[in-house]
Amino acid sequence: MSTIVPAPDALVGKRFDVAVAKMTGESRSKSSELISSGQVRLLHRSSDRSTTLLAGDMVEFDIVDREPEPEPVSMDMAIVYEDDDIVVVDKPVGVAAHASVGWSGPTVLGSLLQRGVHITDYGAPGRQGIVSRLDVGTSGLMLVCKSELAYKEMRRQFSEHEVVKTYHAIAQGDLAQDKATIEAPIGRAKVSDFRFTVTPAGKPAVTHWDVLERFGEATLAKINLETGRTHQIRVHFSSIGHPLVGDHMYGANPRLAERLGLERQWLHAMALDFRHPRTRVWTHVESRYPADLQHALDVLRERREARSEA
């Protein structure tokens, strides 16, 4: 049976074999073979591996003799709150919110289902119950809906910014103020399909932050978002000259990350505050730092103490 999907926005302008590799998770050479054999093709126009993918293209997959690999389960993904309506998980780094083309790792939704947690059928196919997401490279709290009532109400709360989402992040350098707001529109960067940037053509984005601890070379901050743009915290802090420690995509110093033993951006979804969708009781759920972020924080404190004693 054939599967037809629209060309992803992030892959428009790419060679067809490169796009297919991204969409399937196959190597570029394997993707070229699939195109040459006709198992992957563009609808309504001829194509070969070097064809440029255009906006509005429809890609048809008719791949044979390919056994689907079962999705791995994230067994270390803790459930920090659960009742008949919602479940809040502490998502580890390296776990996606839901399945997507080209992603073969564990997901929050798949891991919950395979662990026997009931999830509502409401929501887009493959994204049932999900009303907000975290990036693969960001750890922390994520809420998934188990009932129809919860899905409708929590989707409303998130869309109307009634849910208080609190993040902790370590920004490179010494932030000049103890608290501030960054208000700058964010859109896709022209230099890369996977990066975002502050641009007048972007969507409005508002980030509030308060300093929690200073290290001289870096600053731990508590962050609350009024909006939920892709990579919002990472883009906003980079735009003021203080990229998140470990965030090489947005200009962080790789040597500092190496000294801290950090292999990703120091960013954690620390707390969620919301009205329970059924009881209307104001609910607070809180996380702890995962081991890699805690280690980096400890090293920063040790380095600060060593400098003060020198």
Name the catalytic one among 135, 210, 273, 292: 135
pTM score, whole prediction:
0.77
Percent of the chain's residues with pLDDT above 90: 67
- Binned at pLDDT 50, 70 and 90, residue 6 comes out as confident
Amino acid at 266: W
Q: Calculate the average pLDDT of the chain.
A: 91
Architecture per CATH, 69-160: 2-Layer Sandwich (3.30)
What class does CATH assign to 3-61? Answer: alpha beta
pLDDT tens string 85-101: 999 999 999 999 998 76
Burial 170-198 (b: 16+ CB within 10 A, else e): bbbbebeeeeeebebbbbbbeeeeebbbb
pLDDT tens string 17-37: 988 888 877 788 888 888 998
Superfamily of the domain at 161-310:
Pseudouridine synthase (3.30.2350.10)
Does pLDDT of 65 surpass 60?
A: no
Contact of 140 with 293, CB cutoff 8 Å: no
pLDDT at 172: 97
CA distances from 213 to 168, 205, 298 (A): 11, 25, 12
pLDDT at 189: 86
Domain boundaries, the chain: 3-61, 69-160, 161-310
Higher pLDDT, 281 or 310: 281
pLDDT tens string 118-167: 999 998 888 999 999 999 999 999 999 999 999 999 999 999 999 999 99
CB neighbour list of residue 300: distance below 8 Å, 6 or more residues apart: 170, 215, 217, 218, 260
pLDDT tens string 281-296: 999 999 999 999 999 9
Catalytic residue list contains 174: no
pLDDT at 71: 82
- Of 52-61, 106-115, 127-136, 221-230, least confident by mean pLDDT is 52-61
Do 3-61 and 69-160 have matching folds?
A: no
